[in-house]
Amino acid sequence: MLLALLPLGAFAQFDEWFTEASLRIDYTLTGNDKNTAFALKEMIREPYWSGSKVNLIDNLEFGNYIVKVYEPGTDHLLFSKGYQNLYGEWQTTEEASKVTKTFDESVIVPFPKKQVEVVLYRKDWEGRLLEGLRLTVKPDDYFIRTADNLGLPVYEAWIGNKDITKAVDIVILPEGYTQEEMGKFIKDCDFFVKSLFGYAPYDRYKNSFNVRGLMAPSQESGCTEPGAHVYKNTVMRFSFWTFDSERYCMSTDNRDIRDLAGQVPYDQIYVLVNTTKYGGGGIYNFYCSSASSNSFSGDVIIHEFGHGFAGLADEYYEDETGYGDFYNNDIEPWEPNITTLIDFEAKWKDMMDKKTPMPTPREKKYEHTIGVFEGGGYESEGIYSPYMDCLMKTFKGHEFCPVCQRAIERMILYYSE
Compute how many other C-beta atoms are within 10 angstroms of the C-beta atom of residue 76.
Answer: 12
Rounded CA-CA distance 79/52 in Å is: 11
Rounded CA-CA distance 171/156 in Å is: 10
Q: Which residue has the higher pLDDT, 150 or 5?
A: 150
161 burial class (0-12, 13-18, 19+ CB within 10 angstroms)?
Answer: middle
Write down the architecture of domain 154-310 according to CATH: 3-Layer(aba) Sandwich (3.40)
Q: Is the pLDDT of residue 320 over 80?
A: no
pLDDT tens for each residue of 277-310? 999 999 999 999 999 998 888 999 999 999 999 9
pTM of the model: 0.95
pLDDT reported for residue 398:
83
- CA end-to-end distance (rounded Å), the chain: 18
185 burial class (0-12, 13-18, 19+ CB within 10 angstroms)?
Answer: buried
Q: Give the phi and the psi of residue 271 in degrees, each rounded to 5.
A: -105, 120
Write down the architecture of domain 6-146 according to CATH: Sandwich (2.60)
Q: Is the pLDDT of residue 6 over 60?
A: no
pLDDT reported for residue 9:
59
Whether residue 402 contacts residue 370, with contact meaning beta carbons closer than 8 Å, is answered with yes
For the chain, the structural domain boundaries read 6-146, 154-310, 354-416
Q: Strand locations in 6-128, DSSP E?
A: 18-31, 36-46, 65-70, 77-83, 101-112, 116-123
203-206-207 Cα angle (round to 5): 155
Whether residue 118 contacts residue 134, with contact meaning beta carbons closer than 8 Å, is answered with yes
Rounded CA-CA distance 90/104 in Å is: 13
